[in-house]
Structure 1
Amino acid sequence: MNFIDQPRLHLSMFCMLFLWIRCYSNDGNTGDLVGSISIEVPGGTPGSPYYKIVSPSLKGQPVFRGLVDSVEDTNISFSRVPDLLDPTTLSNPFKPGMLACKQARANSILDPDGNLTVVSLTPTYAGLNYQVTPEVVVDLPTEGNHTGFNYDVAQVEAKLDGSGQITSFDVLNAGRGYSFPPKVTIEGGPHYLRVADLDSNHTGKFFRITSNSEANVIVDNNLSESVGSIFTPNSPVEIFKAWTLGSLFGYDSTSFNEGNDSVADYVYILKSSGQDGTPNDFVPYFHDGTAWRAVSDINNDYGDVVIPPDEGMIIARRSNLPLDLVLSGTVRTQGTFIELPEVSQRALINNPFGLDIMLSDLIPPTSLTQSYANLSGWLANESQELADNVMILNQGVWETFWHDGTNMGITEKAYATARAGSGIGGSLSQQDISMASGSISHMTNPNLGTNITVTSVGHGLRNGFMVKVEGATGYKTDDNKIQVDEDGNNVLSGEGLLIESAANGSFLVTNCTSNTFELDGKSGNCDFYDDGNAFWSTGSSGAGYSSDTMVSFVGGGGSGGKGVAKVDSGTITSILITDPGAGYVEAPNLLIHSGGWNRMGAGRSPSNDFTVPAGSGILLLRNHTSGIAARVSIRNPLK
């Protein structure tokens, strides 16, 4: 049975106008994290599957980093780069067609006589649109050692026909030390180009590569943007390989329930084009034990269906056993772009940040609009039927959220700090929250191994908070704590080189008294100079708030902690804990959400928010009747 027809999912909502979007990282080539996440999908049945949105984010690290040379329309040129074997020689950065072809696959066969060598490769998929012969990489041997007699890496060369497909392989070196057939990786496959210029307003935008030559790539510009203003000369870019159904879950076998289309698990992927607003926009795929098939076409192999960066999928678990799904990839640590299409399109997107976040953090106030004249904004309205909607799949049931326009005027985001829970079982109490600041009148300059002591009269801090120190300066000292000039010569007190203090930064507070506290693990580098600019803070009250909003506590080993930030005259004046949670043995991150989100059937409340787990996603529905294709930005709540 098609998941669209399941009444318990309330999927009549799919007949509404939807939104097709893609997320784009905003952290350039710094800060990305590579890892894996385990997602449990509860068991279901063929007649009543369990549904869950999942996504792996990016596929590993970038395969290329370089600088743009020039741009003409959607054709982006790159300068030649130093050759890996001979850095004095410049080489073209790409092999023609290798960034946009369909990747070939093959299995290795060992010598039947037990010599632990590779005797041949059998093509399982010939690939498509190869322009030059791809490199073939055979995994390392499993026996012997790198210098021993029984260890030698096999070398294989592919043979290409005139139609751009691999017909056979020549084993140049059978290798030695293979106790079982090694994995074979053949060059090629779909790729995406990402803006990596940290100083650009376009940092993090992705464009799929449709073709490439030795020094050029042509990208798909579905929004008709000015590619020349996005990829400027000498700006850095990255190229990532795209996930496919097969590369993500397995080509020949998977962890899913396999079989025919009546019993196998389904993976639903939203069409990237040709949507008509019906359930047919979601294409179900399944693995029959040998290859990926479409329910509508069980004869062809669909293992090369591309999964765009940050788009989600719906897993339909049709076996009664739970599925532990492990997804690997690269997640963002900075902000992200969301691509909004014109009205009547729809899409699934993932949580791109690799951590549990709140719905209110996915779309910031700066991206909201209440004006139909703003064609590119996310429409907020008190009416759910008029506002753009967010659908979250919660334990197999779709829940609907929308923004009513509350706190759209935020001009400065508030923040606060929490420490480890001091209550029973690591629960949080009011004394575990701080949103304060103060001036610094003095700092000590201790030797290595002794903490800096900060003097701030009546600071009110407690041990265990993280405090941020800014603006502290002092006279540079040597190892003997004698002031020195810029040449390192000893000088009289007050005549040393004025430098930034080592105390600037964020540190754990310890050994608090009524007027002093220590910066844990930080020793001094200068004698403090009191110019009135040094201060500490654990938070800021923000500006532009119009209504109370929700607070959540993430990390620290605990869960369940919630609170409400109270607003007066546009600023947050206090935070009240509404649920102390438990298990906060370390300091959690305190997140003050922008608020304004409403959940259908729950009424208006500052607590109307929802956790979007890492590795999951949401479905966006656009009701903006004049909405056009555009991009809006979202931010990592911990940045």
Structure 2
Amino acid sequence: MRIPGKLSRLAVLPAALIVLATALPAQDGLISDQVVGYLPAVIRAGTGTTKTWTVLSLPLTITPGTQITGRITALTANTLTDAGADWSAGAWSTPAAPWFIRITSGASAGRSFLISTTTPNTATTLTLDESGAADLTTLPIATGEEGDTFGILAAETLSTLFPAGSGVLGGSDPDDSDVLQIIRSGISITFYYDALAGHWIEAASGADASDTVIPPDSALLYGRLANTPINLTLAGAVQGDDRRASVKSSGLTLLSNAWPVPVTLAESGIQSLPGWVSSSSPSSADQVQIHVSGVWKKYFHDGTRWRQATLGNPVKDTEIIPAAAGVLINRTGSAAGSVILHQTAPYN
């Protein structure tokens, strides 16, 4: 789980990551030569009467203790099989402890998919969650004895990331408590911490949201009402050299910074998304928003440079997306579906 606690921003390597162990020995299908460490992050204090917002991402991944890796020997639209696996039935399908796979080789390296918690895994086959899974048969994934490799990693839920006792301010509704927002399929979903129930609630339905998964590649928004910050220690391993994330072709995507270091807009490669609309006019262009000191700032690409959508539209290629943060992508038009953003680690 993520470890709430107090941690000063110490000397860093690189830039923000504090390394706890050297790279682990390489194994077939290993999630890179993993570097294990921890990253400080802060949920900014509210005023006690007004919420302050923080964009939070989880760039470090959690393994099951030992490296669980495999090779894709067969697949269907929503399942993948590793003929050499010997998993316990249902081990990767518990709602309170969800998992996801990350493909680690081949043309789809860096794609992540949640494992279903409603269809239990078998000894050799994983079923993917319907909420974010593409049709695997349409993707460039190699199968067979020389099939692409994958790793299994822990997914975070609202209750594992912010459990009871982590400093969350509870209340009786979204107005008098801390809240979280996740954007799923372009729709913002709000959750609040119910002090009486002692867990997270989905605001719209009133349902227990403890096991709600934070999707891989997604950032979240934390609205802090209490007048003290929450200091977090995000522990885990640095992911591999590639990230392939799904971004909606139109509308909103809240995308995480996948790396435990700051990344510039130019380095993000967002402007290279298929169908990205660049323009000299911000009102005609797809836009990216970055939360800076409590304020959303808007940026657009003119075809050559990133610019801020403000007086004079100054060049902002070097604008920073902080570590453990993310960006809100707002794409024009009404195109259905999503496209893939391929990013490589900025410290290679």
TM-score, structure 2 as length reference:
0.79
| Contact 1:71-1:231 at 8 Å conserved across structures | no
Q: Distance in 2 between matches of 1:301 and 1:246?
A: 10
Q: Is the 8 A contact 2:71 2:150 kept in 1?
A: yes
From 223, 226, 233, the counterpart of 1:326? 233
Give the C-alpha shift of residue 202 in structure 1: 1.0
> Is residue 248 of structure 1 aligned with residue 155 of structure 2?
no
Greater RCO, CA 8 A, separation 6+ = 2
Post-superposition CA distance 1:456-514 (Å, at most 9, x none): xxxxxxxxxxxxxxxxxxxxxxxxxxxxxxxxxxxxxxxxxxxxxxxxxxxxxxxxxxx
Picking from 43, 46, 56, the partner of 2:45 is 43
Alpha-carbon contact 1:602-1:608 (below 8 Å) kept: no
Q: Could you tell me how far apart the structure 2 residues matched to 1:364 and 1:228 are?
A: 21
What is the root-mean-square deviation in Å for CA atoms of aligned residues? 2.6
Alignment of 1:394-413 (within 5 A): 394-406=292-304
Q: Equivalent residue for 2:104? A: 196
Secondary structure of the 1:102 match is coil
Q: Give the corresponding residue for 1:152.
A: none
2:334 & 2:204 partners in 1: Cα distance? 32
C-alpha spacing 1:73/1:224, structure 2 compared with 1 (3 Å): closer
- Aligned pairs for 1:20-35 (under 5 A) are 29-35=31-37
CA contact (8 A) 1:347 1:619 kept: yes
Deviations along 1:277-323, whole A, 9 cap, x unmatched?
Answer: xxxx231322426222233455x432111011131111111112233
Structure-2 residue corresponding to 1:218: 127
Residue of structure 2 aligned with 1:267, choices 180, 184, 187: 180
The one-character-per-residue Cα deviations of 1:551-583 (angstroms, maximum 9, x if unpaired) are xxxxxxxxxxxxxxxxxxxxxxxxxxxxxxxxx
Counterpart residue number, 1:449: none
Question: Residues 274 and 341 (structure 1 numbering): CA distance in 2 closer, same or farther, change over 3 Å?
Answer: closer
| Aligned match for 2:113, one of 204, 207, 210 | 207
Q: Determine which structure has more spread, i.e. the larger CA radius of gyration.
A: 1
Q: Distance in 2 between matches of 1:77 and 1:283?
A: 35
Measured after TM superposition, the shift of residue 58 of structure 1 is 4.9
Q: Distance in 2 between matches of 1:402 and 1:292?
A: 35
CA contact (8 A) 1:71 1:228 kept: no
CA contact (8 A) 2:90 2:122 kept: yes
Displacement of 1:217 after TM fit? 1.3
Equivalent in 351, 355, 370 of residue 261 of structure 2: 355
Equivalent position SS for 2:161? helix
**Contact 2:60–2:234 (Cα < 8 Å) also in 1:** no
State whether residues 255 and 325 of structure 1, in contact with CA within 8 Å, keep that contact through their aligned partners in structure 2. Answer: no
CA distance in 2, matches of 1:632, 1:274: 16
Are 1:361 and 1:635, in contact at CA under 8 Å, matched by a contact in 2?
Answer: no
Would the alpha carbon gap of residues 206 and 314 (structure 1) be closer, same or farther in structure 2, given more than 3 Å must change?
same
Whether the aligned pair in 2 keeps the contact of 1:248 and 1:327 (CA below 8 Å) is no
* 1:215 to 1:223, Cα distance in 2 relative to 1, 3 A: closer
Aligned equivalent of 2:76, options 72, 78, 81: 72
Residues 372-396 of structure 1 show CA distances to partners (whole Å, capped at 9, x for unaligned) of xxxx332222221222110111111
| 2:63 aligned to which of 51, 61, 64 | 61
1:294 to 1:46, Cα distance in 2 relative to 1, 3 A: farther
> Which residue in 1 is equivalent to 2:143?
232
Q: Give the aligned partner of residue 555 of structure 1.
A: none
Give the equivalent residue in structure 2 for 1:24: none
Distance 1:321 1:70, change over 3 A: closer
Amino acid at match of 1:347: T
Measure how far apart 1:362 and its partner are.
1.0
Residue 204 of structure 2 corresponds to residue 292 of structure 1:
no
- Go from structure 1 to structure 2 and tell me whether the alpha carbon gap of 1:77 and 1:274 turns closer, same or farther (over 3 Å shift): same
Cα separation, 2, equivalents of 1:386 and 1:327: 38
- Check 1:362–1:52 CA distance in 2 against 1; reply closer, same or farther (3 A cut): same
Report Cα offsets for 1:355-413 as digits up to 9, x if no partner: 11212211266x25xxxxxxx3322222212221101111111110011111xxxxxxx
2:103, 2:125 → 1: CA distance? 15
Give the match for residue 377 of structure 1: 275
Counterpart in the other structure of 1:623 = 332
Deviation at 1:342, TM superposition (A): 3.5
Look up the equivalent residue of 2:83 and give its one-letter code.
S
| Partner Cα distance (1:323, 1:274) in 2 | 28
Cα distance in 2, alignment partners of residues 73 and 224 from structure 1: 4
User: Contact 1:402–1:597 at 8 Å: present in 2 too?
Assistant: yes
**Aligned pair 1:638/2:314, yes or no?**
no
CA apart distance, 1:616: 0.9
In 1, are the aligned partners of 2:185 and 2:248 still within 8 Å (CA)? no
Gaps of 5+ in 1: 1-26, 82-92, 104-188, 276-280, 369-375, 407-595
8 A Cα contact 2:108 2:140, kept in partner: no
> Does the alignment pair 1:303 with 2:210?
yes
Structure 1 residues 288, 328: CA separation in 2 closer, same or farther (over 3 Å shift)? Answer: farther
Query: Taking structure 1 as the reference length, what is the TM-score of the superposition?
Result: 0.45
Q: Indicate the SS of the match to 1:29.
A: coil
Q: Cα 1:228–1:202, aligned 2, differ >3 Å: closer, same or farther?
A: closer
Provide the residue aligned with 1:599 in structure 2: 308
| Separation in 1, partners of 2:142, 2:195 | 43
Residue 322 of structure 2 corresponds to which residue in structure 1?
Answer: 613
Question: Which SS does the other structure have where 1:379 is aligned?
Answer: coil
Between the aligned partners of 2:336 and 2:77, the Cα distance in structure 1 is 25
Distance across 2 between alignment mates of 1:357 and 1:387: 22
- For 1:627 and 1:74, how far apart are their aligned partners in 2? 20
Residue 274 (structure 1) shift = 7.7
> What is the identity, as a one-letter code, of the residue corresponding to 1:48?
T
What is the letter of the counterpart of residue 78 of structure 2? Answer: T
Shift of 1:74: 2.8
Q: Does 1:314 align with 2:227?
A: no
Q: Which runs of 5+ in 2 are unaligned?
A: 1-28
Contact 1:44-1:319 at 8 Å conserved across structures: yes
Change (3 A) 1:59 1:334: closer
SS of residue matched to 1:201: helix
Q: CA deviation at 1:45?
A: 3.0
Q: Residues of 2 paired with 1:244 and 1:348: CA distance?
A: 17
Amino acid across the alignment from 1:190: P
What's the secondary structure of 1:223's corresponding residue?
Answer: coil
